[in-house]
Structure 1
Amino acid sequence: MNHRRGRRALAGLAIMTILGAGTSACGGDPAVCSDTDSLRSSIQDLQNIDIGQGGLAQLQKQLEAIRSDLQQLADDASDQYSSEVAAIRDAVDALGASLTAAVSTPSAATLTAVRDDVKALGSSVARLGDAVSGTC
């Protein structure tokens, strides 16, 4: 009799272990966490671009990658982080405008505006990171 109880207990433990492993494999962090990581990585790549020869074209290309990351984040974040996503979108739009101005009329003033907008975008993404830290 004691062997039957022992076997049942082991069988029950095995089933619970399998179910628990399956649940944790399906769970994980929400999509907003990986979206935020992707956006941070894209921003880091943007900040590493040297504005020298060909730098503005590289910035434009990287800005498109950021727009794509931002769209994915907006799709996954829904209303929970809407104010942070809106701030990032505004910063991306401002950078796009200053980048367009720098490409058409390169000068110290337009390049400074690009640099400042890159910093502002980085700050907006950092605020998002702070906001999602409790979720991720």
Structure 2
Amino acid sequence: FDDMRERGVRLAGELPPELVYAGYSFGVLPAQKLAQTRPGARGALLFYSCLPVSGEWAFGPWPKGVPVQIHGMDKDPIFAGEGDIDAAREIVAKAEDAELFLYPGDQHYFADSSLPSYDGDATRLLTRRVLAFLNRV
């Protein structure tokens, strides 16, 4: 896992630092690390996964001036069942500009229309929220 996460971080080194970093599921690891540690980050969008900002899995505190949105289903066995939702709540409690959006359901990849887990209503709401976030940052 560390190698895959660090590969994502290395690849971002070729891009300008003033980015909104986004990741889905495992892709949240490099996105969150970059948003928290790479100077110039404009924001973060974390979908279906989240790491805490304290403890052994943390990259450190959430940086000031970096807004974040976190999206997941309230009964997703991974997001809700493996502690990601608690990590998201910790970020919301400690960061100056953080939002957690929970959608009713138990699917992990609910916004991918190519999968049977797709939830159109949740995806439309997620899309509106993400676009509003991007317009703001």
- Report if TM-score (shorter chain) is over 0.5: no
* Structure with greater helix share of residues: 1
If asked which structure has higher relative contact order (CA below 8 Å, sep 6+), I would say: 1
* Structure with greater strand share of residues: 2
Question: Between Structure 1 and Structure 2, whose CA radius of gyration is higher?
Answer: 1
TM-score of the pair, normalised by structure 2: 0.30
TM-score of the pair, normalised by structure 1: 0.30
